[in-house]
Structure 1
């Protein structure tokens, strides 16, 4: 441990001892006593205590100490540092609403500071980290995409931009997965028109995701079930042009040839337009 680190550790311990001497804890065993005033301590000392609580895994207590700096020394450089640490403390404690609130305040108050990019990234993570399964409501996914786009567009040269791009792609794929889940649900129940509407959204709006090949295959299935052979053949042609080596194309090819059909562009429909874009390299 360096001399500087040792001094910081001693300062934190001194603050702990000082606060403990002021009165008993009201927050339960191991919790900080939030009834005591911190006005007698410098912002650096309070900041050290916040870091001390973080190291012990007491994220909520750490956030409270950082918030006290913001309250007691609102115009100091320590308040700016403490605010981003608040957002971080709340986030690792999975208190996403408070993390989001602190991060947004940082962005509003200090948009030109170096940590503004990290604040925007934490804001995005406060939505993104709650996306855990396809079946959940997609409102969080849309909000995550918007916040991640903020990182990518506003802070393209920051160290968080690459991670934001990756997470944006994953969240985008997540939305496509939701459309596929609903489409398959309708398809299993022979609600073919409703299923087609969902698969069409994936093909038109989520072309770059991992779900596009299956969406085209499901369109072949749904259109054949409705007797719309032109659309089914055209969907198969798009699938063959872009994903010929996939199992989805093999299945679609078998379905079509089993009915004496083949993957080819037929008619003048929305799928024919997609195929023309594919040939010109304007799709995917």
Structure 2
């Protein structure tokens, strides 16, 4: 039975009962300190032996699969990956082979191995294009890219998402788009659509960020082109009025008054109350047009340097 990424996985591993070890009988003849040290060593060896037993050549396909499920349930995704890899290597045509290939995508994703998750998803889609749960592989591929930029540094120093490399966001948007195009009735389609709306706004803001940088650096043609790209390709996002304002300012600075007036007319007709016009209807340049960028030295020293 198929298991959802967000559902709980029922643990089915049957743990073997540890038998009394003859080595424990030696403890009675040792000093207390040595008893404690020896006991700790025996417990560590026992734990290692128990873990090794799961990897033994005699372990059945079902035992390996159940062990992987237990690791997923416990949140030990790295161990789950290892168990699923072992299962597929030893039982490539077994009963659990296809399910293991699907679940390892999830395990890679949850262990923050985005590239491995995408590769595993691509492999599953290539090998099993007609699998009843292939939509899940598309969905997980999109999720892996969606969260790829949530790395160690961004968790410690939260950055405006629009200022990050948008490559992963674009890849995620394309993955979710393929999912919806091929499987519009998929149970994952609604969540994919919500994420796509967020990503569309994020990608538009990334273009605005680049446009503002070009304004700041005096590259007005590039700034105008970025603004126009947002207007042409992200019409349903909240970035459009700022993009039009950037076009107005960039064209003014280039001496292209007619192009500036055209952009201004569109801005006034569609967003008259957005805050770019004074009471007399005159265009007001806001911070959204030409925010200066702070250097990394300035950010890391909290404004003391740079």
Q: Answer yes or no: same fold by TM over 0.5.
A: yes
Structure 1: distance between partners of 2:266 and 2:86 = 60
Other-structure match for 1:170: 198
Aligned 1:4-43 pairs, distance under 5 A: 9=11, 12-14=13-15, 33=51, 37-43=55-61
Q: Match for residue 72 of structure 2?
A: 54
Pairing of 1:111-150 with structure 2 (within 5 A): 111-131=129-149, 133-150=161-178
SS at match of 2:15: helix
Correspondent of 2:108 among 90, 101, 109: 90
Residue equivalent to 2:262? 234
| C-alpha separation in 2, matches of 1:131 and 1:92 | 14
2:95 to 70, 74, 77: 77
1:107-152 alpha-carbon deviations (Å, 9 max, x no partner): 1222222221111111111111124522233322332222122211
In 1, are the aligned partners of 2:54 and 2:67 still within 8 Å (CA)? no
Q: Secondary structure at the match of 2:162?
A: coil
Q: What does the per-residue CA deviation read over 1:179-216, in whole Å, with 9 as the maximum and x for residues that have no partner? A: 11111112123332221121111112222222111111
Unaligned runs of 5+ in 2: 1-9, 20-41, 151-160, 285-306
Q: How big is the shift at 1:25?
A: 11
Give the superposed CA RMSD.
3.1
Query: Which residue in 1 is equivalent to 2:82?
Result: 64
Structure 1 unaligned runs (5+)?
A: 1-7, 19-23, 257-284
Alpha-carbon separation, structure 2, partners of 1:17 and 1:73: 28
Q: Which structure dedicates a bigger proportion of its chain to helix?
A: 1
Is residue 105 of structure 1 aligned with residue 123 of structure 2?
yes
Correspondent of 1:182 among 204, 207, 210: 210
Please say if residues 130 and 140 of structure 1, whose CA atoms lie closer than 8 Å, have aligned partners that are also in contact: yes
Q: Distance in 1 between the 2:188 and 2:207 partners?
A: 29
Matched-pair contact (CA < 8 Å) for 1:25–1:31: no
Segment of structure 1 superposing worse, 148-157 or 38-47: 38-47
Q: How many residues align?
A: 241
The 1:241–1:255 alpha-carbon spacing in structure 2 relative to 1, beyond 3 Å, is closer
- Partner Cα distance (2:245, 2:280) in 1: 6
**Shift, 1:77, TM fit:** 3.3
8 Å CA contact 2:277, 2:283 repeated in 1:
no
Secondary structure, aligned partner of 1:14: coil
Structure-2 residue corresponding to 1:268: none
Match in the other structure for 1:222: 250
CA displacement at 1:60 relative to structure 2: 0.6
Q: Is the 8 A contact 2:142 2:175 kept in 1?
A: yes
Q: 1:48 to 1:231 in 2, by over 3 A?
A: same
Deviation at 1:252, TM superposition (A): 11
- Residue in 2 that maps onto 1:192: 220
